[in-house]
Amino acid sequence: MSPPPSVLLTCRIPSALLARLEERCEVECLQPPIAPALLAERVRGKLALLCLLTERVDRQVIEAGQDLRIIANIAVGYDNIDVAFARARGIAVTNTPDVLTGATAEFTWALILAAARRVSEGERLLRRGDWNGWALDFMLGMELRGKQLGVVGMGRIGRAVAAKAPAFGMRAVYAEQAGGAPAGVDHATQVSLDELLVSSDVVTLHVPLTPATRHVIDKRALARMKRTAILVNTARGPVVDEEALAWALEERLIAAAALDVYEREPAVHPKLLQFENVVLAPHLGSATRETRTAMAELAVGNVLAVLSGQPPLTPVG
């Protein structure tokens, strides 16, 4: 009788899902943070790797995992994986699309509202004991009704964010970085990125991290935005040049920013910590119990499918 297939898991997952894996596989669990050398060492002999976006699955790790048949990323993005090299080695790469769309779209609107109505700033002031009572001109924010939402990247999450704009009385426009308009966009108008930046009151980013999108929001882009505009990023940190963002905030070229992702996570650009008009969240876009469970369940399903000789459920690309 052949031994069960071996699987490397780089995070905790719900016990029911772990039990499902252990029924058919021999599972080794690592706990983050995981050094690259340790990941390369422990992936040897494994047939499957379930990992997070925080693990860099580069050529060195893939070469070490000579027996790998699947790399299952518990995330919708997969810029942490050398997908081309994995495919060249005959390794399936999967992600977890769809299941986190609603949660991330909701959280994007939470950040928009927090920045527009200065919620974080007000809470900090209150906790310091600096509130002296209601005043007519105290901590005035921006009302969303009648304003324009600019969505950069109209994939699943971008569409879900744009679909909620009418509920706040906003009109939505979008710009596609990858070219081509997605099907079924009936609640937003496509414009060029430049027109979006110039005309939008809120600019929200929903593009994958690629060479074309890295620093898509740079000094030039920020200088094109309205001085009353808010920038929101729940996509990937490096799509925003954080040094340029700090410069734009210092020069008051934009009104506020709200970030859930960062260029060098978990580090945050020190200048951004100094601004009261910047909302900072620790990568919480998909952080609901329901969504994170669904993400892990889909990743486990991908692993079990491939190890049983079936095609992956959600292959990337």
Determine the average pLDDT of the residues in 104-108. Answer: 98
| Cα separation values, 234 from 174, 242, 303, Å | 16, 14, 27
Extended beta strands in 163-225, E state: 171-175, 189-190, 202-205
313 assigned to some structural domain: no
Determine the average pLDDT of the residues in 176-205. Answer: 83
Q: Please indicate, yes or no, whether residues 11 and 111 belong to a single structural domain of this protein.
A: no
Q: Among 233, 237, 241, which residue's Cα sits nearest to residue 257?
A: 233
Residue 106 token pair: 């909701």
User: In the predicted model, is pLDDT for residue 317 greater than 80?
Assistant: no
Q: Among 312, 291, 315, 293, which residue's Cα sits nearest to residue 302?
A: 312
Residue 25 token pair: 């596989």
- What is the rounded CA–CA span in Å between residue 131 and residue 136? 14
Among the options 87, 214, 224, 283, which is catalytic?
283
43 assigned to some structural domain: yes
Q: Among 305, 299, 287, which residue's Cα sits nearest to residue 96?
A: 299
User: Could you give the angle at the alpha carbon of 157 between the alpha carbons of 289 and 241, nearest 5°?
Assistant: 100
Q: Please indicate, yes or no, whether residues 153 and 251 belong to a single structural domain of this protein.
A: yes
Q: In this prediction, what percent of the chain has a pLDDT beyond 90?
A: 94
Chain centroid offset of residue 103 CA: 11
Q: Please indicate, yes or no, whether residues 60 and 207 belong to a single structural domain of this protein.
A: no
Kindly write down the DSSP assignment for every residue of 259-295, as one continuous string: ES--TBTTB--GGGGG-TTEEE-SS-TT-SHHHHHHH
Q: Please indicate, yes or no, whether residues 140 and 275 belong to a single structural domain of this protein.
A: yes
The reported pLDDT for the residue numbered 182 is 54
Q: Please indicate, yes or no, whether residues 139 and 70 belong to a single structural domain of this protein.
A: no
User: In the predicted model, is pLDDT for residue 251 greater than 50?
Assistant: yes
User: In the predicted model, is pLDDT for residue 181 greater than 60?
Assistant: no
Q: Please indicate, yes or no, whether residues 190 and 266 belong to a single structural domain of this protein.
A: yes
Q: Please indicate, yes or no, whether residues 109 and 51 belong to a single structural domain of this protein.
A: no
215 assigned to some structural domain: yes
Q: Please indicate, yes or no, whether residues 93 and 130 belong to a single structural domain of this protein.
A: no
Q: Please indicate, yes or no, whether residues 60 and 74 belong to a single structural domain of this protein.
A: yes
- What is the rounded CA–CA span in Å between residue 160 and residue 228? 24
Among the options 236, 242, 292, 297, which is catalytic?
236
The reported pLDDT for the residue numbered 120 is 97
Among the options 28, 195, 243, 265, which is catalytic?
265
**CATH number of the domain that residue 302 is part of:** 3.40.50.720
Is 87 catalytic? The answer is no
The reported pLDDT for the residue numbered 68 is 98
- What is the rounded CA–CA span in Å between residue 234 and residue 23? 36
Task: Let me know: does 307 contact 24? Beta carbons within 8 Å.
Answer: yes
Determine the average pLDDT of the residues in 85-92. Answer: 97
Residue 5 token pair: 């297939």
Domain count, the chain: 2
Q: In this prediction, what percent of the chain has a pLDDT beyond 70?
A: 97
pLDDT, mean over the chain: 95
316 assigned to some structural domain: no
126 assigned to some structural domain: yes
Residue 110 token pair: 């939470």
Orientation angle between helical segments 101-116 and 119-127, nearest 10 degrees: 60
In tens, the pLDDT along 37-54 reads 999 999 999 999 999 999
Determine the average pLDDT of the residues in 154-158. Answer: 94
The pTM of the full predicted model, rounded to 2 decimals, is 0.93
Q: Please indicate, yes or no, whether residues 257 and 129 belong to a single structural domain of this protein.
A: yes
Is 283 catalytic? The answer is yes
Q: Please indicate, yes or no, whether residues 95 and 111 belong to a single structural domain of this protein.
A: no
Q: Please indicate, yes or no, whether residues 164 and 149 belong to a single structural domain of this protein.
A: yes
312 assigned to some structural domain: no
Q: In degrees rounded to 5, what are phi and psi of residue 286?
A: -100, 15
Q: 141 is in which domain, residue-wise?
A: 101-280
Is 69 catalytic? The answer is no
